[in-house]
Amino acid sequence: MNMTLIQKYVRDEKIVPAALTGLLLTASFPEAGFSGLACVALVPLLAAVEGASPGKSFRVGFMAGLIHFLSLLYWVVHSMQVYGNLGPAVSAAILFLLAAYLACYPGLFAMLAASLPKNRFSGLFLIPAFWVACEYARFRVMAGFPWEFLGCSQYQNLAFIQIADLFGVYGVSFWIVFSNACVWMIFGFFSFKNARAKTISRARAAGALGLLFAASAAVFSYGKWRMISVDALMASAPKKTVAFVQGNIPQEKKWDPNFSSQIIQKYLDLSLSVQDREPDLVVWPETATPFYFLQERRRTPKLLAGLAGMDADFVIGSPQGRRTAAGVEYLNSAYLLSGKGKVFGRYDKSRLVPYGEYIPLKRFMPFLGKIVAQAGDFVPGPVGRTLEWKESRVGIQICYEIIFPDISRLMAQNGAGLLINITNDAWFGKTSAARQHFSMAVLRAVENRRAVVRAANTGISAFIDPVGRITGETGLFKEAAIAAAMPVYEGETFYTRRGDLFALACVFVSLFFVLMKRLRRAIKGAESENKRKKESRRRQNVHGTQTGP
């Protein structure tokens, strides 16, 4: 009996297609990396919510999102257990709460998609607009968490991500969901044996297939053309030889004073190993110095003495503290300085990691401050600040700032000819999180046509050119120091100039659709009410006539 009830629940709530969509979505991202699955991952969900009520369609979409984010972000448990000193139950609870929040967006998408008739071509364009609107909301609502938007799954398919210089990562997501919608419509033609039960005609299925090929061909052709044109543009751009250093410092040793001298010496030795390439700039990872650089009088001079023998400039990550009237404030910073010790500028991280660098809602829930032992009270710096370097400017993004499209875009607007991403991904261990984090940097390069230099403490470090090609990629938990010539380009793409215009248009279309849907429902309800009242009055008149004198 209980098994029968469970089977009925699974069938009625469409658990199987929801789970299939969730798992297919995750499989399209690193480490699995079957990127082609993204183009069909939503088909089971779209089929499951077809004609469903708003409540049911939301639940099915929520379940798909929950399974997707639980399987995509599983590494949160590892980070919380190993570095947050939390038990398995608490770590799993944190992951579940995060996944449940993020799952609300696929739930909202499913609710909107379910209200569309399957046999209209307008749905092929509205469905991806709904998805992009939900991604944009995930980016903007609360602190924002734009981790692995659907378009990022294609980071290795260079021809298909070049449209990001027009529409951002949202344009790539739109194309992927458009492909899903076309497959869904074609699937509708073949899904019934009885021809009378078909909701999709042969002509509409053929039209969807034609649109799928036409859209994919257009995206691919634009991508190939832009790769050639951007390569030609970068060939004439000025070049700087940049090196990154991957120290591979274990997290448990990083802040131990007994190892600080060894850590600094390792970074100095690795920097010396690339001096034969005569680098203009050497990039160290996030918080590479295990002390407060320029503030500690004992260890700072030793570091500066080691740099003095090298004819290069440096980007060095270091924490900072400053006294204010309210007490001591801490910043996660990066210094741009010469080998002679002259400081050209400092960038302070503007997007802090929740529960890693600050405690959200601490005033209302002070007990949260005790959950993660490693959490510090950091304060954000100004957003989009760039630093002057030689004849250009550089934009430095620290850790997960690279996942936010607006920061890279604002830095490009502010004159950054080169983007630098320094990070410490040791927190992720050997999970897929490091690869996921890295994949998003590729989209930032393409969106703004900027070369990206990425230096990660334990990997993945690499160079990314303005069309998204990856060179010099390092493995995880290995020491490395690699130099390469990188173009310094200050031109602006359409996306750099106009930003999230396309995503905002999708939000507007979605809101307009909801408004018109409610308006039509209200008009229909008013018409039904008027008809009911007229019928009531007619019956009263007939009754009065029959009972008259």
**Per the structure block, which two tokens stand in for 128?**
């991806």
Determine which one of 135, 286, 357, 447 is catalytic: 286
Helical segments of 141-273, H only: 158-161, 164-167, 169-190, 202-235, 251-254, 260-272
- Extract the runs of DSSP E, i.e. beta strands, from 42-200: none
**Alpha-carbon distance 250 to 267, whole Å?**
14
Annotated active-site residue 399? The verdict is yes
99 Cβ partners below 8 Å, 6+ apart? Answer: 65, 66, 69, 70, 73
Report how far apart, in Å, the C-alpha atoms of 359 and of each of 286, 302, 363, 375, 408 are: 20, 34, 9, 7, 25
Tens-level pLDDT at each residue, the chain (549 residues): 466 766 665 676 788 999 999 999 999 999 899 999 999 999 999 999 988 999 999 999 999 999 999 999 999 999 888 877 788 998 999 999 999 999 999 999 999 999 887 668 888 999 999 999 999 999 999 889 999 999 999 999 999 999 999 999 999 999 999 999 999 999 888 775 444 445 677 888 899 999 999 999 999 999 999 999 999 999 999 999 999 999 999 988 888 888 889 999 999 999 999 999 999 999 999 999 999 998 888 899 999 999 998 999 999 999 998 887 877 888 999 999 998 889 999 999 999 887 777 776 666 555 555 444 444 578 899 999 999 999 999 999 999 999 999 999 999 999 999 999 999 999 899 999 999 999 999 999 999 999 999 999 999 999 999 999 999 999 999 999 999 999 999 999 999 999 999 999 999 999 999 998 888 777 777 667 677 777 677 677 766 665 555
Report how far apart, in Å, the C-alpha atoms of 19 and of each of 60, 72, 75, 187, 377 are: 9, 13, 19, 19, 39
* In the block, residue with structure tokens 């991904």: 425
**Per the structure block, which two tokens stand in for 99?**
């996944």
**Per the structure block, which two tokens stand in for 180?**
């899903």
**Alpha-carbon distance 292 to 294, whole Å?**
6
pTM: 0.92
Share of the chain above pLDDT 70, in %: 90
- In contact, 313 and 280? CB cutoff 8 Å: yes
Angle among Cα 309, 312, 318 to the nearest 5 degrees reads: 90
179-200 residues labelled b (16+ CB within 10 A) or e (exposed): bbbbbbbbbbbeeeeeeeebeb
> What are the respective helix, strand and coil percentages of the chain, to the nearest 5?
55, 15, 30
Report which secondary-structure segment, H or E, holds 98.
Answer: helix 88-114
* pLDDT at residue 179 in the model: 98
Annotated active-site residue 349? The verdict is yes
* pLDDT at residue 544 in the model: 61
Distance from the first to the final alpha carbon of the chain:
65
The 10s digit of each residue's pLDDT in 162-196 is: 999 999 999 999 999 999 999 999 988 877 544 44
Cross-strand partners of 345: 336
Task: Check residue 37 and report its DSSP letter.
Answer: G
Phi and psi at residue 283, to the nearest 5°:
-110, 125
Determine which one of 39, 134, 399, 506 is catalytic: 399
* pLDDT at residue 365 in the model: 53
Annotated active-site residue 182? The verdict is no
- In contact, 251 and 283? CB cutoff 8 Å: no
Cross-strand partners of 319: 332
404-437 residues labelled b (16+ CB within 10 A) or e (exposed): bbbbbbbbbbeebbbbbbbbbbbbbbebbbbbbb
User: How many residues does this entry show for the chain?
Assistant: 549
Determine which one of 56, 118, 240, 349 is catalytic: 349
Report which secondary-structure segment, H or E, holds 388.
Answer: strand 387-389
